[in-house]
Amino acid sequence: MPFLNNTKLKLSELEYQSNLITNDVGDFIFINNKNLKRFQIDALREPEMEWLKQAGIGCADRDTFFYNAHQFKKALRNSPQRKLNYLIIVPTLRCNLRCAYCQVSRADEKAKGYDWTPEIIDKFVEYVDQHAVDNVKIEFQGGEPSLRLDIVLEIVERVKMLKPLAFFVICTNLSKLSRELLSLLNRDDFTISSSLDGPPKIHQENRTISDAETNNFFDNLDLILDQFGSSKISLLPTISDYKNIKDIIDFFFEKKLPDIFLRPVNFQGFARKKFSDISQGATDWLSVYFNALDYIAEKNQLGGHQLVETGLSIHLNRIFKPQSHNYVDLRNPTYLGKDYLVVDYDGKFYPTDEARMLSRIGLVDLEIGNIFGGLNERKVDFLNSRSSNAGNSACKECSFQPFCGVDNIDNISRYGTIDVETLNSHYCITHMGIFKYIFNKLSSRNENFGKLASLCLTGQQGVSAIFGGHHFD
């Protein structure tokens, strides 16, 4: 677009005759059709030009403050991952449940040969010592890691000796709340993560099956919430039947949980075999999702509990905080096998948990080394040959490019290749949809949404007025 000779600007149309202009570092303004025309024919007055400059959209002369502040932001936006700071480990693949859409693939509780050996434990501790940052976070995944709390305990103790700032989280189905697990939860550096599909009826249908197991789960959940507070536990719902979504949200409100992550059932692991029709329908999901977000925003205004939606929060953080690269599925560039690593029950390395699943179901071998021989650098380099959206011709035209990312693993899982037509890919449809939803809401100064967005970004009771200052009208 020939704006002010600045080729870095990109335009997209929004609802209500508004438009979005973004630049290469994610500064953005909303502009109505009339002003857009004046903008395009270069008919702006001096104060308007100054406003644009402060908004980051106008051209700044080389080597001036605005120019260099812009360069700084560019470096922040594009900073690559360097040091290992997150490890997902699978001390056992065995599990005592058999959930319909098990995402993590599992082995039978009684099976043999699916647990970490003492040798793997030693090698892992050595690997962390050599490669991880001081405040590394280690996530115990499974299978069901509480079946091998002895290993969990040993890892915590040994890692803590080497990395006193290390942090841990255990992903458990909460069927067993042993005294050892409770004492681990007493530590400030140890939290818990579990699945909660909604009210007992839904959770039972999807996961716990029997009344006894269901009661057991909710008793344990309440015990943790009562004893440690809701910040101790993060709870992830899997939504297999979209018409339940409001009941699920209501239940999260009722339990006064701080956040909910609304995602459709995942197209990976064993889930692939049963729910493929649902997970392909990105557009179907989006309309359900946007209704759900509107519902949360409305409910937050009732004066009671306030809920954050994690997916929205991730997208908003990408828009407003150029330094936010924490979410592996939405960042750019995204180098696999650098800051984030999965170590399976047999000591094999995978770049993400999804990659582990894909390999497990035999779709493609994404193993990138193992705890004995280290990273397979050649394979890592190969996987990273297309790790940025900067060279993608469709992304180049898209105003959401600075906020968006790349997820080659997702493309492999859905299409068996990373050579996909971007605009038709599940990844692009989903994220473009969400960004568009957000900018439409912000552009139209939607009060409820503004407060929800503010809550997502600041963690404090929201103030929608903080999204002012972007409207050129």
Partner 1 sequence: MIELSLRYTGDIPQKEPFVCVVTETGSEPHTRGANKFIKNDGKYYIGGQILSIINQNGILEIGEILIVFPNEKLIQRFYGPKVNGNTILLTEKCDQVCMMCSQPPKNKDYLHWDLYLEAASLIPDGGTLGISGGEPTLYKNQLLQFLIDCIELNKNLQINVLTNAQHFDENDIDKLLILNKNVLWGVPIYSHIASQHDQIVGKEGAFLKLKNGFNCLLMSGSRVELRTVLMQENYAALPKLAKLVSRHFLWVERWAIMQLEPIGYAKIDWPTKFVDTTLYPENLEQAVMIAKASGIYASLYNFPRCTVPPNIRDSCVNSISDWKQKFIPECKTCSQKNSCCGFFEWYDDKSGYKSVMRIEE
Nearer to partner 1, 43 or 463 (CB): 463
Residue 290 CB-density burial (10 A; 0-12 exposed, 13-18 middle, 19+ buried) = middle
Closest of 281, 293, 333, 246 to residue 440, by C-alpha: 293
Please select the residue that binds partner 1; options are 17, 40, 64, 186, rule is CB under 8 A: 64
Q: Does 322 bind partner 1 (CB under 8 A)?
A: yes
Nearer to partner 1, 90 or 314 (CB): 314
* Shortest distance (Å) from residue 56 CB to partner 1: 5
Nearer to partner 1, 216 or 310 (CB): 310
Please select the residue that binds partner 1; options are 240, 306, 430, 454, rule is CB under 8 A: 454
* Shortest distance (Å) from residue 317 CB to partner 1: 8
Using CB under 8 A as the binding rule, the residues of this chain from 105 to 144 that contact partner 1 are none
Q: Does 76 bind partner 1 (CB under 8 A)?
A: yes
Q: Does 161 bind partner 1 (CB under 8 A)?
A: no
Nearer to partner 1, 28 or 39 (CB): 28
238 contact partners, CB below 8 Å, separation of at least 6: 101, 103, 195, 197, 206, 263, 265, 266
* Shortest distance (Å) from residue 459 CB to partner 1: 8
Sign of CA dihedral 289, 313, 461, 239: positive
Using CB under 8 A as the binding rule, the residues of this chain from 20 to 59 that contact partner 1 are 27, 54-56
Nearer to partner 1, 183 or 461 (CB): 461
Closest of 213, 159, 218 to residue 190, by C-alpha: 159
Nearer to partner 1, 17 or 54 (CB): 54
* Shortest distance (Å) from residue 469 CB to partner 1: 4
Binding residue count for partner 1, defined by CB under 8 A? 29
Q: Does 178 bind partner 1 (CB under 8 A)?
A: no
Residues 201 and 213: their CA atoms lie apart, in Å, by 12
Q: What is the DSSP letter of 333?
A: S
Residues 342 and 325: their CA atoms lie apart, in Å, by 18
Cα Dmax for the chain: 76
* Shortest distance (Å) from residue 132 CB to partner 1: 24
Backbone angles phi and psi of 408, in degrees to 5:
-65, -35
Q: Please, are residues 265 and 239 in contact by the beta-carbon 8 Å criterion?
A: yes
Q: Does 16 bind partner 1 (CB under 8 A)?
A: no
275 contact partners, CB below 8 Å, separation of at least 6: 101, 240, 265, 267
Q: Does 450 bind partner 1 (CB under 8 A)?
A: no
Q: Is the peptide bond before 304 cis (omega within 30 degrees of 0)?
A: no
* Shortest distance (Å) from residue 66 CB to partner 1: 6
Terminal C-alpha separation, the chain = 20
The alpha-carbon radius of gyration of the chain (Å, integer) is: 23
Residues of this chain that interact with partner 1 (CB under 8 A) are 27, 54-56, 63-66, 68-70, 72-73, 76, 320-324, 454, 457-458, 460-461, 463, 465-466, 468-469
